[in-house]
């Protein structure tokens, strides 16, 4: 049975981003958030380390010509991993093109995750197998799919929440606003996670938004809103978990930063300074949790080495899977345009086969 929204939830986000861990890894004493359990924290760390290694491997594959393009999420691991691990198995994820780390965290095979970027086909995985919608390239359009999906779950009596990712730039698109409004009116169990990494390709936040924060945009739609430190994986996990369990809509703005450029085709030095990047490297989400776990005695050298080895092994498996030439069949062009192939497509498929014979 669907839960109702807790009465104490407010529309107004906090002035400062909610956090559990300071940038030096020390805990915040008076946080309103509950610190995740120790085993969850270690798991968050493990998945972030593996995710980061996957991300750097994918970037390398681009340089080797194995991927047409790769939008790195390096620096955003706390958002990618913290939010996905906060989902229940029955919940759904609606990701964007930048969220490959979230996909592998959800259990999607890395080769299937990268199919889109490899150019083999538009999507490699079965959405229903992993409860992950197709990675979305047009901005913000997936927010409406998430709202519709969650509302359908409600109509069918299923306790399923939908987590949808958007970037800061996508909050300027009309679909974000229509989706927030529909979610507010329908009280749909949707979590909008805005990964605010500071730039929409090269356009900074100052040219994107005039509100005190992106989280403030939920107020007008009656959607409870949260501002969270997006480089604090414990905090991201805690707020997403609470939002998922609330049974209603939530808008979460996670303040983070992408360390790499928008994609390998972008030159980030044209629009941001090395000082700025250095300041954000100092707030690294993986280092921060590692410091905390070490201070708590939850992570020792042996465990750290084991996780590093697992990450290397994961990267090696990605390499071996991607170092295979993909040769999709030209017949595939005509499949799945309609549930059954209409005559004109059968004719075109035959013509192409004859041309290639």
Partner 1 sequence: MSAVSMAGALNRALADSLADDPSVLVFGEDVGALGGVFRVTDGLAARFGEQRVFDTPLAESGIVGTAIGMAMNGLRPVVEMQFDAFAYPAFEQITSHLAKLRNRTRGRVSLPVVIRVPYGGGIGGVEHHCDSSEAYYTHTPGLRVVTPGTPDDAYRLLRDSIASPDPVIFLEPKRRYWAKGSLSTSGDPIGFDRALVRRAGRDVTLIAYGPMVVTALETAEAAAEEGWDVEVVDLRSLSPFDDETVCASVRRTGRAVVVHEASGFGGYGAEVVARVTERCFHHLHAPVLRVTGFDIPYPPPKLEEHHLPSVDRILDAIARLQWDDEVVGSYGA
- Which positions lie near partner 1, rule CB under 8 A? 121-123, 126-128, 133-134, 138, 141, 143-153, 155-156, 162, 174-175, 178-179, 181-182, 185, 332, 335-339, 342-344
CB of 142 to partner 1, least distance (A): 9
Main-chain dihedrals φ then ψ at residue 221, nearest 5 degrees = -105, 0
Helix/strand/coil (H/E/C) assignment for every residue in 160-223: CCEEEEEECHHHHCHHHHHHHHHHHHHCCCEEEEEEECCEECCEEHHHCCCCCCCHHHHHHHCC
CB of 262 to partner 1, least distance (A): 21
Question: How far is it, in rounded angstroms, from Cα 45 to Cα 285?
Answer: 9
Active site residue 237: no
Question: How far is it, in rounded angstroms, from Cα 197 to Cα 117?
Answer: 21
Smallest Cα–Cα separation from 159: which of 55, 88, 78?
88
Q: By C-beta, is 7 or 157 nearer to partner 1?
A: 157
- Name the H helices within 228-283: 233-246, 274-281
CB of 148 to partner 1, least distance (A): 2
Beta strands in the chain, from DSSP E residues, in sequence order = 92-94, 162-167, 190-196, 199-200, 203-204, 225-229, 250-255
Q: By C-beta, is 36 or 249 nearer to partner 1?
A: 249
CB of 89 to partner 1, least distance (A): 16
Q: By C-beta, is 25 or 127 nearer to partner 1?
A: 127
CB of 239 to partner 1, least distance (A): 23
Phi-psi category of residue 107: left, alpha or beta, with phi > 0 → left and psi -120 to 50 → alpha? left
Catalytic residue among 66, 154, 258, 283: 258
Q: By C-beta, is 106 or 283 nearer to partner 1?
A: 106
Q: By C-beta, is 130 or 303 nearer to partner 1?
A: 130
Catalytic residue among 9, 22, 130, 271: 271
Q: By C-beta, is 122 or 321 nearer to partner 1?
A: 122
**12 DSSP assignment:** S
Active site residue 303: no
Helix, strand counts (H, E) of the chain: 13, 7
Question: How far is it, in rounded angstroms, from Cα 94 to Cα 179?
Answer: 13
Q: By C-beta, is 121 or 295 nearer to partner 1?
A: 121
Cα torsion angle, 116, 141, 107, 316, sign: positive
CB of 191 to partner 1, least distance (A): 14
CB of 329 to partner 1, least distance (A): 12
Question: How far is it, in rounded angstroms, from Cα 46 to Cα 44?
Answer: 6
Catalytic residue among 46, 131, 262, 288: 262
Active site residue 258: yes
**Cα 90 to Cα 3, 12, 146, 278, distances in angstroms:** 15, 29, 14, 39
Question: How far is it, in rounded angstroms, from Cα 212 to Cα 174?
Answer: 19
Residues involved in catalysis: 258, 262, 271
């Amino acid at each position: 049975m669907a839960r109702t929204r807790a009465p104490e939830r407010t529309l107004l986000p906090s002035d400062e981003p909610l956090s559990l861990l300071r940038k030096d890894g020390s805990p915040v004493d008076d946080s309103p958030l509950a610190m995740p359990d120790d085993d969850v924290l270690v798991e968050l760390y493990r998945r972030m380390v593996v995710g980061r290694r996957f991300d750097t491997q994918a970037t390398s594959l681009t340089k080797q010509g194995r991927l047409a393009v790769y939008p790195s999420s390096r620096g955003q691991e706390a958002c990618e991993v913290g939010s996905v691990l906060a989902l229940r198995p029955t919940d759904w994820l609606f990701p964007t093109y930048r969220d490959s780390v979230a996909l592998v965290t959800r259990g999607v095979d890395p080769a299937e995750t990268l199919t889109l970027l490899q150019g083999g086909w538009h999507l490699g995985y079965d959405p229903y197998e992993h409860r992950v919608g197709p990675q979305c390239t047009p901005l913000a359009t997936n927010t409406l799919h998430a709202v519709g999906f969650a509302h359908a779950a409600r109509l069918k009596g299923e306790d399923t929440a939908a987590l949808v990712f958007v970037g800061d730039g996508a909050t300027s698109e009309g679909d974000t606003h229509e989706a927030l409004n529909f979610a507010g009116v329908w009280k749909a169990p949707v979590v909008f996670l805005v990964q605010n990494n500071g730039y929409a390709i090269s356009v900074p936040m100052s040219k994107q938004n005039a509100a005190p924060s992106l989280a403030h945009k939920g107020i007008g739609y009656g959607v409870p809103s949260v501002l969270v430190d997006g480089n604090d994986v414990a905090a991201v996990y805690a707020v997403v978990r609470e939002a998922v369990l609330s049974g209603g809509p939530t808008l979460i703005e996670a303040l983070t930063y992408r360390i790499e450029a928008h994609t390998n085709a972008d030159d980030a030095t044209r629009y941001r300074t090395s000082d700025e990047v250095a300041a954000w490297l100092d707030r690294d989400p993986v280092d921060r949790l590692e410091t905390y776990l070490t201070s708590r005695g939850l992570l020792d050298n042996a465990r750290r080495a084991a996780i590093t080895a697992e990450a290397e092994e994961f990267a090696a498996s990605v390499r071996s899977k991607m170092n295979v030439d993909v040769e999709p069949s030209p017949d595939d062009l005509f499949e799945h345009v309609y549930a059954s192939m209409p005559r004109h497509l059968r004719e075109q498929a035959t013509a192409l086969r004859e041309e290639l014979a």
